[in-house]
């Protein structure tokens, strides 16, 4: 047989489109050509494949070898195609049984010795390959990651020779078993936070409704400390959320750690991060921090220190929950349903309004500092809270607050009410859905309209205030939104107006 077809997968964002690796042997001067829009890494596979076949005890055909990676208009990158190309050459030359190739998909980078090395995006590839009903052969490290996909058949192979023995029916490859995973990481406990009752309440509301949060206060008041404790009171990830989050991490250089598979992501990029680092991009689009924080928390400390153009790219993902990256030759869509938590000082020196330390900033400096955060971005933040400075005597006399475990129990109860009522968290409700499920009483609605007019709220801000009011009602197990629920939600919007003014 002079023609063989092997199944594999490429990566295009979180998508893993199928690729047919077609290998044809023809008479003529020996040559080895790869077509189908390969990049440099794929072209270099010619030397790796040739050496791996020879060192594995097989014969490399002295013919004109043509490898076609179809579809031809889909860019192919990385060394993931080394293994399917090598298997295709061996099948076309009759050295392995080609009849079994239709049941498998393959990916793996080959060493010159024939050893298989892990590839990026294994979980994303197997996640989609499962729909095609084929088993997947991968290097051992990649197979361990990919086995977390339910009902997928994954075979680990440490060498080209092992794959060939399996396809020839000599020695079967084992089926990778899904690992148990490590114990869930210990989150920092809210009990460590002394005082700051209002900030703790805001954190609980943010967790219960999935709302974005801005913490404003002088240095050292516990803003970062509070943000780091948010993942510990969030509801646990369900399986499809954990797999989505892990599939995105599998596309990055860090890969997936089974011990943290069920742990909500917490990303905290430095304020010097570029727009590409934050939202993703590159000639071969990779996920950015907002996608790596999918189903988790994105914490932006020192918010005004970020470049304003960098912050502006957050506006669309905060609304849509995804990011579209377009380049001249490639386009990709990454999910980005993250919970934004940000922290900032009230002024450049940090001590505006401090009870003991004098602020050295002029009015113009304060306005310019706060003006680095645009109104449209602030409009998309549900909760803003001031985190005041506590004196040493207050800290010394302060009693530790409730533990994360107790707060999380209330958050879970509120989230369950939301799921039972509308099938999603409150922050995902559209304006029309809010009108249907908010169940706001007449007096509360009248009060809400008056407050919106007095504060000059936009339609978006009005709906966000209503969402927070609905979350307050859920925390108190109230079937309807009442006046006191609106009154509890308003200070978080007033604080935002003060910050923007």
SS3 per-residue string spanning 477-500: CCCCECHHHHHHHHHHHHHHHHHH
Q: Quick check: bond before 71 cis, omega within 30?
A: yes
216-228: pLDDT as tens digits = 999 988 899 999 9
The reported pLDDT for the residue numbered 398 is 57
The reported pLDDT for the residue numbered 492 is 87
Q: Among 24-28, 141-145, 211-215, 339-343, where is mean pLDDT lowest? A: 141-145
Tell me: pLDDT of 185 over 70.
no
The reported pLDDT for the residue numbered 130 is 84
Average pLDDT score over residue span 422-449: 91
314-340: pLDDT as tens digits = 999 999 999 998 877 778 889 999 999
372-400: pLDDT as tens digits = 899 899 989 999 999 988 777 666 665 66
The reported pLDDT for the residue numbered 243 is 86
The reported pLDDT for the residue numbered 499 is 52
Average pLDDT score over residue span 296-316: 94
Distance CA 17, CA 140 (A): 22
Where residue 456 falls among pLDDT bands split at 50, 70, 90? confident
Distance CA 145, CA 152 (A): 12
The reported pLDDT for the residue numbered 397 is 61
Tell me: pLDDT of 428 over 60.
yes
Which range in 251-260, 361-370, 406-415 is most confidently predicted, on average pLDDT?
406-415
CA distances from 298 to 91, 94, 177, 303 (A): 48, 53, 32, 12
Q: How many CB atoms lie within 10 A of CB 41?
A: 17
Q: Which two tokens stand for residue 86?
A: 């090598």
Tell me: pLDDT of 98 over 60.
yes
Distance CA 143, CA 483 (A): 55
CA distances from 20 to 4, 131, 136, 146 (A): 10, 16, 14, 21
The pTM of this model reads: 0.87
Tell me: pLDDT of 497 over 60.
no
Distance CA 387, CA 58 (A): 69
Q: Among 80-89, 324-333, 489-498, where is mean pLDDT lowest? A: 489-498
Distance CA 224, CA 247 (A): 28
Instruction: Compute φ and ψ for 340, nearest 5 degrees.
Output: -85, 125
The reported pLDDT for the residue numbered 279 is 92
Q: Which two tokens stand for residue 480?
A: 């309807």
What value does the mean pLDDT of the chain take?
90
Cβ distance 326 to 367 under 8 Å?
no
SS3 48: helix
Average pLDDT score over residue span 285-306: 94
Tell me: pLDDT of 258 over 70.
no
DSSP state of 16: -
Where residue 494 falls among pLDDT bands split at 50, 70, 90? low
Share of the chain above pLDDT 90, in %: 65
Average pLDDT score over residue span 410-415: 96
Cβ distance 215 to 226 under 8 Å?
yes
């Amino acid at each position: 047989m002079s023609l063989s077809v092997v199944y594999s997968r490429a990566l295009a964002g979180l998508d893993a489109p199928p690729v047919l690796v077609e290998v044809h042997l023809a008479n003529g001067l020996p040559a080895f050509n790869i077509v189908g829009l390969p990049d440099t890494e794929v072209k270099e596979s010619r030397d790796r494949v040739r050496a791996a076949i020879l060192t594995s005890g097989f014969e490399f055909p002295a013919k004109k070898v043509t490898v076609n990676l179809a579809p031809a208009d889909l860019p192919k990158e990385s060394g993931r195609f080394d293994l399917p190309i090598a298997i295709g050459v061996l099948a076309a030359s009759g050295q392995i049984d080609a009849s079994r190739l239709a049941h498998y998909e393959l990916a793996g980078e080959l060493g010159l010795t024939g050893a298989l090395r892990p590839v990026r995006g294994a979980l994303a590839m197997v996640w989609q390959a499962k729909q095609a009903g084929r088993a997947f052969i991968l290097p051992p490290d990649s197979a361990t990651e990919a086995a977390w996909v339910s009902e997928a058949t994954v075979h680990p192979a440490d060498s080209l020779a092992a794959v060939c023995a399996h396809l020839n029916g000599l020695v079967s490859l084992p089926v990778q078993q899904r690992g148990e995973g490590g114990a869930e990481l210990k989150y920092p406990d809210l009990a460590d936070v002394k005082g700051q009752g209002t900030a703790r309440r805001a954190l609980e509301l943010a967790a219960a409704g999935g709302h974005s949060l801005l913490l404003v206060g002088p240095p050292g008041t516990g803003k970062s400390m509070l943000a780091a404790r948010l993942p510990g009171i969030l509801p646990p990830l369900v399986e499809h959320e954990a797999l989505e989050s892990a599939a995105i991490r599998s596309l990055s250089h860090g890969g997936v750690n089974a011990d943290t598979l069920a742990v909500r992501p917490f990303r905290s990029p430095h304020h010097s991060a570029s727009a590409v680092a934050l939202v993703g991009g590159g000639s071969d689009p990779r996920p950015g921090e907002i996608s790596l924080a999918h189903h988790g928390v994105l914490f932006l400390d020192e918010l005004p220190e970020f470049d304003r153009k960098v912050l502006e790219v957050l506006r669309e993902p905060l609304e849509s929950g995804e990011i579209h990256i377009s380049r001249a030759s490639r386009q990709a869509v990454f999910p980005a349903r993250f919970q934004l938590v940000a922290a900032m000082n009230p002024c450049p020196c940090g001590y505006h309004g401090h009870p003991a330390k004098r602020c050295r900033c002029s009015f113009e400096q304060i306005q310019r500092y706060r003006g680095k955060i645009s109104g449209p971005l602030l409009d998309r933040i549900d909760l803003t809270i001031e985190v005041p400075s506590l004196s040493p005597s207050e800290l010394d006399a302060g009693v530790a607050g409730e533990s994360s475990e107790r707060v999380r129990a209330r958050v879970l109860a509120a989230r369950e009410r939301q799921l039972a009522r509308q099938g999603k968290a409150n922050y995902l409700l559209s304006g029309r859905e809010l009108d249907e499920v908010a169940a706001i009483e007449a007096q509360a609605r009248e009060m809400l309209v008056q407050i919106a007019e007095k504060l000059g709220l936009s339609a978006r801000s009005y709906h966000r205030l209503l969402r927070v009011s609905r979350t307050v009602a859920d925390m108190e197990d109230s079937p309807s939104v009442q006046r006191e629920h609106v009154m509890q939600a308003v200070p978080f919007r007033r604080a935002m107006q003060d910050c923007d003014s």
